[in-house]
Amino acid sequence: MTLDRLIIPREMEGKRLDFALTHLTDLSRNRIKDLLQQQRINISGASSGASLKPSSAVHTGDVFELDIPDTKPTELTAEAIDLDILFEDDYLIVVNKPAHMVVHPSHGHESGTLVHALLHHCPNLPGINGVERPGIVHRLDKDTSGSLVVAKTEETHRKLVELFSTHDIRREYIAWVRGAPTWNHKHIELPIGRHPQHRQKMAVVEQGKIAITDVLVEQRFHDQFSRVRLRLHTGRTHQIRVHLAHHQLPILGDTTYGRLFTPGKQTSQPIRDAIAALNRQALHAEILGFIHPITEQEILCHAPLPVLLKTLDLALSA
């Protein structure tokens, strides 16, 4: 356990408590919120932090005492799983996640996750962003491959979360879809939330959170299929899959947001074989770019396409 004393400087006058403490420490806003709920943050001289809220205003000269508990060691077992590393330094790591790998442990996925592999590769990850999700800043769906960044330190994690929340990060995906739209570019700005009937699915719903996706058609194949490039401006759950399906462009291999699809005999055998071989959705997070939150170096990672998607693209192009 550590006890920190912080004095609010003049430039923080009137700011929210969580904003001020986040900028005066290496802690994230979520961590500050947790400490407040546990009454581990107090104004010096007060008996309890019960009246303090994340939105409480701070004033110049206020002295706060932070009772920070020791990091809880993870109970997860590191697993020697190979990682395709696109970039790594002392602060963060960018990996090319394969399809079928879950990012963090959950019910039914107690082993073999990216977190288990990271714990073997980066032994100091435990404790960052909680026991079950150490260092995880964002995630990719189980059957989506591609670039994913993970923080190695608390400060890096906090600053990467800020980059994602302000959308100061470049995320480009490639998808192969059913349909050949007449337009070349579409800006999709539609809210996404839980499906009203199927709670395991997401949907475009009026009361959902705003989601923004730019879609560029790169190539059309035989007036039946297309390869599209997508740029995310928000990061809602299943955002790309929901937005494309809503515009009648379901991703090949995605049986959640597009029905099981078997091409007819008018489709060439190589294309039929390539689609039949898909055991995943044809979606890949190709590009991840951002300004390194610590070194200020420009990071631009390109995740190579997996063989299955290369084969699909070649078959469609023939």
Query: Which residues are designated catalytic?
Result: 141
The pair of three-digit structure tokens given for residue 129, joined into one six-digit string:
């962003």
User: DSSP letter at 265?
Assistant: T
Helices (H), 45-94: none
Do 196 and 205 contact (CB within 8 A), yes or no? yes
Helices 29-37 and 17-24 pack at an angle, to 10 degrees, of: 120
Rounded distance, CA 220 to CA 218, Å?
7
SS3 97: strand
Measured in residues, the chain has a length of 318
Whose structure tokens read 């590009």? 287
Written as one letter, the residue type at 92 is: L
96 close to 303: Cβ distance less than 8 angstroms: yes
- Burial code (b: 16+ CB inside 10 Å, e: under 16) for 43-82 equals beeeeebeebebebebeeebebbbeeeeeeebebebeebe
**Cα–Cα dist 34/16, whole Å:** 15
Tokens of 244: 């494309």
DSSP state of 117: H
Among 85, 54, 75, which residue's Cα sits nearest to residue 126? 75
